[in-house]
Amino acid sequence: MKRFSTERFTCPWLKFTACLTECGLTDDNGTLFESNSPERPEFRSILDQETRDKKETEISPYDTTKDKREKSECSGDVRSAIAHLQRIIALDPSQYAAYYNMGYIYYEQNLPESALVYFLKASELCPSDADIWVYLALVYRDLGRLENSINANLEALKIDPSSVMAYYNLGSTYQELHLYEQAKECYSKAVFLNPLHADALFNLGVISQQQNETQNALDFFLRAIKADPNFQEAIEAAKSLKNFVEKQN
């Protein structure tokens, strides 16, 4: 069963770019100021130091694509990114995007306890950002704190009632707690907002099959395959269920 989803999730590096602009490291177009710029020299010194510290690499730690992030992490740029963010926090502790990105880095590094510290601080500084609450929910989930995860997802939905991620991940937590009706409701809302959400459709099929709703389960599996023709789990589930129906007849 696929339980987590980060599809359509706001890229943390975009928040980091906004953070740099707010700090005066870039202009409104996202262009870094020159070293001799009079704009916020204390922050300019951070970039100067970062340039001296940065190891040679063709990939920036702030690339938005996952495969580039993974290559960046392998090259050691994560340490550089953390050091960069720590300097920004030291100079301006009100920059919630820096805490958000620190949390994201630790989350990607499978360090949920460290990620939690920074996401909590980000939520304290900017409680109206739904993305922070969705990530908090994921971290709480990894830590086995399911009630906290549910509450964080609900908080995200108060802020953004159209968050597919919050509905999907909330549904997966309810499903793990065997609260199937609540899970179905959340998955259904995720599918309403995104009819091609293959994971939500698949999990609706799993729950329907558990509740002996054979035809509904098969329909959901087939819809999941239509949404993602390479969804092997859905393909196998549909095939198995078809064989079961044929034997019953």
Q: Where are the domains of the chain?
A: 8-126, 195-249
**Cut 0.85: pTM above it:** no
Task: Find out whether 163 and 157 touch, Cβ atoms under 8 Å.
Answer: yes
Distance CA 55, CA 135 (A): 30
CATH 1.25.40.10 at 195-249, yes or no = yes
The letter for the amino acid at 206 is V
Angle between helices 77-91 and 96-108 (to 10 degrees): 150
Instruction: Provide the H-helix boundaries in the chain.
Output: 12-23, 41-53, 66-74, 77-91, 96-108, 112-125, 130-142, 146-159, 164-176, 180-193, 198-210, 214-227, 232-248
53: confidence class by pLDDT, cuts 50, 70, 90: very low
What whole-number percentage of the chain has pLDDT above 90? 57
Q: How big is the CA angle at 61 (ends 65 and 141), to the nearest 5 degrees? A: 70
With a cut of 50, say whether residue 165 has pLDDT above it.
Answer: yes
Q: Which CATH class is domain 8-126?
A: mainly alpha
Distance CA 208, CA 213 (A): 5
One fold for both 8-126 and 195-249?
yes
Residue 140 phi, psi (nearest 5): -60, -40
**Mind listing the pLDDT tens digit for each residue in 25-39?**
444 554 433 333 334
Residue 32 phi, psi (nearest 5): -65, 140
**Mind listing the pLDDT tens digit for each residue in 133-159?**
999 999 999 999 999 999 999 999 999
